[in-house]
Amino acid sequence: MLYDAKTQNRIKRAEGQLRGILKMMEEEKDCKSVITQLTASRSAIDKAIAVIVSSNLEHCILESAERGIENSSMIEEAVNLLVKSR
């Protein structure tokens, strides 16, 4: 599967957020600020997961439709991936 630049940028932003959190911890910033940034990082990662799963699902469904293959197992697998990611 190919990952587009937007998806890669989402991960790079999350990486930057995590580095910022480590710096905040080293500087002994208050707990509320660290937790706020951790929550934002988790949200960014969750969104990246959703984008990757949905893009992959779309790609697989289109590909299997061209081949005349049934899609229900792929949809179930995609839903399981999303549930597992939480």
DSSP states of the chain as a string?
----HHHHHHHHHHHHHHHHHHHHHHTT--HHHHHHHHHHHHHHHHHHHHHHHHHHHHHHHHHHHHHT---HHHHHHHHHHHHHH-
Higher pLDDT, residue 77 or 30: 30
Look up the pTM and report it: 0.71
- Lowest pLDDT segment from 11-20, 22-31, 63-72: 63-72
What domains can be seen in the chain, in order of their start residue?
5-85 (1.20.58.1000)
Reported as a single tens digit per residue, the pLDDT across 48-75 is: 888 888 877 777 777 777 777 776 776 7
User: What is the chain's mean pLDDT, rounded?
Assistant: 85
